[in-house]
Structure 1
Amino acid sequence: MLEIYTDGAASGDPGPSGIGIYIKNGKDHVEYSFYSGVYSNHEAEFLAVIKALEICKQAYPEEILSVRSDSKLVVDVIEKEFTKNPKFAPLLDEILRKSHTFPYFFIKWIPEKQNSKADQLARQAIQRHKEDFFTQ
Protein backbone atom coordinates (compact mmCIF):
# COMPACT_ATOMS: atom_id res chain seq x y z
CA MET A 1 0.00 0.00 0.00
CA LEU A 2 1.25 3.44 -0.94
CA GLU A 3 0.89 6.44 1.36
CA ILE A 4 0.36 9.51 -0.81
CA TYR A 5 0.47 12.96 0.73
CA THR A 6 -0.97 15.72 -1.45
CA ASP A 7 -1.23 19.46 -1.05
CA GLY A 8 -2.12 22.47 -3.13
CA ALA A 9 -1.22 26.09 -2.53
CA ALA A 10 -2.13 29.36 -4.21
CA SER A 11 -0.60 32.80 -3.98
CA GLY A 12 -3.83 34.78 -4.18
CA ASP A 13 -7.40 33.61 -4.62
CA PRO A 14 -7.17 32.77 -7.41
CA GLY A 15 -3.50 33.15 -8.13
CA PRO A 16 -0.41 31.25 -9.18
CA SER A 17 -0.75 27.77 -7.71
CA GLY A 18 1.39 24.75 -7.10
CA ILE A 19 0.89 21.16 -6.08
CA GLY A 20 3.05 18.90 -3.97
CA ILE A 21 2.96 15.13 -3.86
CA TYR A 22 4.96 12.94 -1.50
CA ILE A 23 4.65 9.18 -2.06
CA LYS A 24 5.87 6.67 0.52
CA ASN A 25 6.39 3.13 -0.67
CA GLY A 26 7.67 1.21 2.31
CA LYS A 27 11.05 2.73 3.17
CA ASP A 28 11.34 4.47 -0.20
CA HIS A 29 9.77 7.77 -1.17
CA VAL A 30 9.43 10.05 -4.18
CA GLU A 31 8.59 13.75 -4.32
CA TYR A 32 6.86 15.84 -6.97
CA SER A 33 6.40 19.58 -7.23
CA PHE A 34 4.42 21.13 -10.10
CA TYR A 35 3.23 24.59 -11.03
CA SER A 36 -0.46 24.16 -11.84
CA GLY A 37 -1.57 27.52 -13.24
CA VAL A 38 -3.88 30.18 -11.87
CA TYR A 39 -6.35 28.55 -9.48
CA SER A 40 -7.84 28.93 -6.04
CA ASN A 41 -6.27 27.07 -3.14
CA HIS A 42 -9.17 24.59 -3.10
CA GLU A 43 -8.85 23.90 -6.81
CA ALA A 44 -5.10 23.33 -6.37
CA GLU A 45 -5.87 20.79 -3.62
CA PHE A 46 -8.11 18.83 -6.03
CA LEU A 47 -5.50 19.11 -8.80
CA ALA A 48 -2.89 17.63 -6.46
CA VAL A 49 -5.01 14.51 -5.97
CA ILE A 50 -5.59 14.23 -9.72
CA LYS A 51 -1.87 14.52 -10.47
CA ALA A 52 -1.05 11.96 -7.77
CA LEU A 53 -3.49 9.51 -9.36
CA GLU A 54 -1.91 10.08 -12.78
CA ILE A 55 1.58 9.46 -11.39
CA CYS A 56 0.46 6.33 -9.57
CA LYS A 57 -1.29 5.00 -12.68
CA GLN A 58 2.03 5.18 -14.54
CA ALA A 59 4.35 3.99 -11.77
CA TYR A 60 2.15 1.85 -9.48
CA PRO A 61 -0.96 0.73 -11.44
CA GLU A 62 -1.80 -2.25 -9.23
CA GLU A 63 -1.15 -0.69 -5.83
CA ILE A 64 -3.59 0.12 -3.05
CA LEU A 65 -3.62 3.89 -2.61
CA SER A 66 -4.03 5.67 0.69
CA VAL A 67 -4.18 9.39 -0.09
CA ARG A 68 -3.76 11.88 2.74
CA SER A 69 -4.77 15.54 2.49
CA ASP A 70 -5.04 18.39 4.98
CA SER A 71 -8.01 19.80 3.04
CA LYS A 72 -11.21 18.80 4.81
CA LEU A 73 -13.18 20.13 1.85
CA VAL A 74 -11.41 17.87 -0.65
CA VAL A 75 -11.60 14.80 1.58
CA ASP A 76 -15.31 15.34 2.31
CA VAL A 77 -16.21 15.91 -1.36
CA ILE A 78 -14.32 12.79 -2.48
CA GLU A 79 -15.70 10.62 0.33
CA LYS A 80 -19.29 11.74 -0.38
CA GLU A 81 -18.69 11.67 -4.15
CA PHE A 82 -20.73 14.87 -4.38
CA THR A 83 -20.33 18.63 -4.61
CA LYS A 84 -22.71 21.47 -5.36
CA ASN A 85 -19.84 23.71 -6.43
CA PRO A 86 -19.71 23.87 -10.25
CA LYS A 87 -15.94 24.55 -10.20
CA PHE A 88 -15.26 21.38 -8.20
CA ALA A 89 -17.65 19.03 -10.03
CA PRO A 90 -15.39 18.29 -13.04
CA LEU A 91 -12.40 17.85 -10.71
CA LEU A 92 -14.36 15.39 -8.57
CA ASP A 93 -15.50 13.50 -11.67
CA GLU A 94 -11.90 13.15 -12.81
CA ILE A 95 -10.75 11.95 -9.39
CA LEU A 96 -13.53 9.36 -9.22
CA ARG A 97 -12.81 8.13 -12.74
CA LYS A 98 -9.07 7.84 -12.11
CA SER A 99 -9.36 6.36 -8.62
CA HIS A 100 -11.65 3.56 -9.78
CA THR A 101 -8.83 2.10 -11.88
CA PHE A 102 -6.96 1.02 -8.72
CA PRO A 103 -7.74 -2.08 -6.64
CA TYR A 104 -8.46 0.12 -3.61
CA PHE A 105 -8.44 3.86 -3.09
CA PHE A 106 -8.76 5.55 0.28
CA ILE A 107 -8.59 9.21 1.19
CA LYS A 108 -8.02 10.47 4.70
CA TRP A 109 -7.87 13.91 6.29
CA ILE A 110 -4.68 14.67 8.23
CA PRO A 111 -3.64 17.78 10.18
CA GLU A 112 -1.43 20.30 8.38
CA LYS A 113 1.57 19.44 10.56
CA GLN A 114 1.50 15.87 9.20
CA ASN A 115 1.47 17.16 5.62
CA SER A 116 4.43 19.51 5.78
CA LYS A 117 6.44 17.81 3.04
CA ALA A 118 3.65 18.04 0.44
CA ASP A 119 2.99 21.64 1.52
CA GLN A 120 6.65 22.52 1.07
CA LEU A 121 6.67 20.96 -2.40
CA ALA A 122 3.54 22.90 -3.44
CA ARG A 123 5.02 26.20 -2.26
CA GLN A 124 8.33 25.44 -4.00
CA ALA A 125 6.46 25.10 -7.30
CA ILE A 126 4.93 28.57 -6.90
CA GLN A 127 8.27 30.06 -5.95
CA ARG A 128 10.04 28.46 -8.93
CA HIS A 129 7.34 29.79 -11.25
CA LYS A 130 7.70 33.31 -9.87
CA GLU A 131 11.49 33.19 -10.22
CA ASP A 132 11.20 31.89 -13.78
CA PHE A 133 8.63 34.55 -14.63
CA PHE A 134 10.84 37.38 -13.43
CA THR A 135 14.03 36.08 -15.08
CA GLN A 136 12.46 35.88 -18.54
Structure 2
Amino acid sequence: MIEVYTDGASKGNPGKSGIGIVFKSSTIYEEHSFQIGIYSNHEAEFHAVIKALELCKEKYPNEVLSFRSDSKVVVDTIEKEFTKNKDYLPLLEQIQQLSSHFPLFFIKWIPEKQNQQADRLAREIIREEN
Protein backbone atom coordinates (compact mmCIF):
# COMPACT_ATOMS: atom_id res chain seq x y z
CA MET A 1 0.00 0.00 0.00
CA ILE A 2 1.18 3.49 -0.85
CA GLU A 3 0.08 6.54 1.12
CA VAL A 4 -0.31 9.52 -1.18
CA TYR A 5 -0.47 13.04 0.26
CA THR A 6 -1.71 15.77 -2.08
CA ASP A 7 -2.14 19.52 -1.84
CA GLY A 8 -2.84 22.41 -4.15
CA ALA A 9 -2.10 26.10 -3.74
CA SER A 10 -3.05 29.22 -5.67
CA LYS A 11 -1.57 32.70 -5.63
CA GLY A 12 -4.88 34.49 -6.02
CA ASN A 13 -8.20 32.75 -6.42
CA PRO A 14 -8.01 31.99 -9.28
CA GLY A 15 -4.30 32.54 -9.79
CA LYS A 16 -0.99 30.89 -10.50
CA SER A 17 -1.32 27.41 -9.06
CA GLY A 18 0.91 24.58 -8.00
CA ILE A 19 0.52 21.11 -6.58
CA GLY A 20 2.53 19.02 -4.17
CA ILE A 21 2.49 15.23 -3.97
CA VAL A 22 4.22 12.90 -1.51
CA PHE A 23 4.38 9.10 -1.88
CA LYS A 24 5.15 7.04 1.23
CA SER A 25 5.40 3.32 1.86
CA SER A 26 7.77 1.00 3.68
CA THR A 27 10.15 1.22 0.70
CA ILE A 28 9.20 4.49 -1.03
CA TYR A 29 9.50 8.17 -0.22
CA GLU A 30 9.06 10.55 -3.15
CA GLU A 31 8.21 14.24 -3.43
CA HIS A 32 6.81 15.84 -6.58
CA SER A 33 5.70 19.38 -7.38
CA PHE A 34 4.31 20.95 -10.52
CA GLN A 35 3.12 24.33 -11.74
CA ILE A 36 -0.28 23.76 -13.29
CA GLY A 37 -1.46 27.14 -14.61
CA ILE A 38 -4.26 29.42 -13.44
CA TYR A 39 -6.87 27.80 -11.22
CA SER A 40 -8.88 28.34 -8.06
CA ASN A 41 -7.51 26.79 -4.89
CA HIS A 42 -10.15 24.03 -4.94
CA GLU A 43 -9.42 23.24 -8.59
CA ALA A 44 -5.70 23.00 -7.76
CA GLU A 45 -6.55 20.49 -5.01
CA PHE A 46 -8.44 18.32 -7.54
CA HIS A 47 -5.56 18.58 -10.02
CA ALA A 48 -3.15 17.38 -7.32
CA VAL A 49 -5.18 14.18 -6.93
CA ILE A 50 -5.36 13.73 -10.71
CA LYS A 51 -1.61 14.17 -11.20
CA ALA A 52 -0.87 11.82 -8.29
CA LEU A 53 -3.11 9.16 -9.85
CA GLU A 54 -1.37 9.61 -13.22
CA LEU A 55 2.03 9.17 -11.56
CA CYS A 56 0.81 6.09 -9.69
CA LYS A 57 -0.54 4.62 -12.92
CA GLU A 58 2.93 5.02 -14.50
CA LYS A 59 5.06 3.94 -11.55
CA TYR A 60 2.88 1.79 -9.27
CA PRO A 61 0.08 0.36 -11.41
CA ASN A 62 -0.91 -2.55 -9.16
CA GLU A 63 -0.69 -0.88 -5.77
CA VAL A 64 -3.41 -0.23 -3.23
CA LEU A 65 -3.63 3.56 -2.89
CA SER A 66 -4.49 5.43 0.28
CA PHE A 67 -4.82 9.12 -0.56
CA ARG A 68 -4.83 11.89 2.03
CA SER A 69 -5.93 15.48 1.48
CA ASP A 70 -6.65 18.45 3.71
CA SER A 71 -9.36 19.62 1.29
CA LYS A 72 -12.81 18.69 2.58
CA VAL A 73 -14.33 19.75 -0.76
CA VAL A 74 -12.16 17.28 -2.69
CA VAL A 75 -12.51 14.40 -0.22
CA ASP A 76 -16.30 14.82 0.11
CA THR A 77 -16.75 15.06 -3.67
CA ILE A 78 -14.71 11.91 -4.33
CA GLU A 79 -16.30 9.93 -1.50
CA LYS A 80 -19.87 10.90 -2.47
CA GLU A 81 -19.07 10.56 -6.19
CA PHE A 82 -21.14 13.69 -6.73
CA THR A 83 -20.83 17.45 -7.15
CA LYS A 84 -23.26 20.19 -8.11
CA ASN A 85 -20.33 22.39 -9.18
CA LYS A 86 -20.04 22.22 -12.97
CA ASP A 87 -16.34 23.14 -12.82
CA TYR A 88 -15.54 20.17 -10.55
CA LEU A 89 -17.56 17.58 -12.47
CA PRO A 90 -14.98 16.87 -15.22
CA LEU A 91 -12.26 16.71 -12.55
CA LEU A 92 -14.29 14.19 -10.53
CA GLU A 93 -14.89 12.12 -13.67
CA GLN A 94 -11.17 12.11 -14.44
CA ILE A 95 -10.40 10.96 -10.88
CA GLN A 96 -13.00 8.19 -11.13
CA GLN A 97 -11.60 7.02 -14.44
CA LEU A 98 -7.98 7.02 -13.23
CA SER A 99 -8.72 5.42 -9.85
CA SER A 100 -10.59 2.54 -11.54
CA HIS A 101 -7.21 1.18 -12.73
CA PHE A 102 -6.14 0.26 -9.18
CA PRO A 103 -7.16 -2.74 -7.06
CA LEU A 104 -8.20 -0.39 -4.26
CA PHE A 105 -8.33 3.39 -4.00
CA PHE A 106 -9.54 5.38 -1.07
CA ILE A 107 -9.17 8.93 0.15
CA LYS A 108 -9.49 10.44 3.57
CA TRP A 109 -9.42 13.93 4.97
CA ILE A 110 -6.53 14.91 7.22
CA PRO A 111 -5.83 18.16 9.09
CA GLU A 112 -3.45 20.63 7.42
CA LYS A 113 -0.89 19.89 10.13
CA GLN A 114 -0.57 16.31 8.84
CA ASN A 115 -0.13 17.47 5.24
CA GLN A 116 2.77 19.88 5.67
CA GLN A 117 5.15 18.26 3.16
CA ALA A 118 2.67 18.36 0.26
CA ASP A 119 1.63 21.89 1.27
CA ARG A 120 5.26 23.07 1.30
CA LEU A 121 5.84 21.61 -2.17
CA ALA A 122 2.72 23.26 -3.62
CA ARG A 123 3.61 26.66 -2.13
CA GLU A 124 7.27 26.55 -3.16
CA ILE A 125 6.50 25.75 -6.80
CA ILE A 126 4.19 28.75 -7.24
CA ARG A 127 6.93 31.05 -5.95
CA GLU A 128 9.29 29.85 -8.69
CA GLU A 129 9.55 31.76 -11.96
CA ASN A 130 8.59 29.85 -15.12
TM over 0.5: yes
Shorter chain as normaliser: what TM range? over 0.9
Q: Give RMSD over aligned pairs.
A: 0.7
Q: Secondary structure at the match of 1:11?
A: strand
Amino acid of the residue matched to residue 66 of structure 1? S
TM-score, structure 2 length as denominator? 0.98
For residue 92 of structure 1, report the CA deviation from its aligned partner: 0.2
| Equivalent residue letter for 1:17 | S
CA distance in 1, matches of 2:72, 2:99: 18
Q: After superposition, where does 1:1-136 map in structure 2 within 5 Å? A: 1-128=1-128, 131-132=129-130
For residue 51 of structure 1, report the CA deviation from its aligned partner. Answer: 0.1
* Count of matched residue positions in the alignment of Structure 1 and Structure 2: 130
1:28, distance to aligned residue in structure 2 (A): 2.7
State the percentage of identical aligned residues. 64
CA distance, structure 2, for counterparts of residue 127 and residue 104 of structure 1? 35
Q: Name the TM-score, length of structure 1 as normaliser.
A: 0.94
Q: What CA deviation, in whole Å up to 9, does each residue of 1:50-106 have, x standing for no partner?
A: 000000000000000000000001000000000000000000000000001100000
Q: Which secondary structure does the structure 2 equivalent of 1:82 belong to? A: coil
CA distance in 2, matches of 1:82, 1:97: 14
Specify which structure has the higher proportion of helix: 1
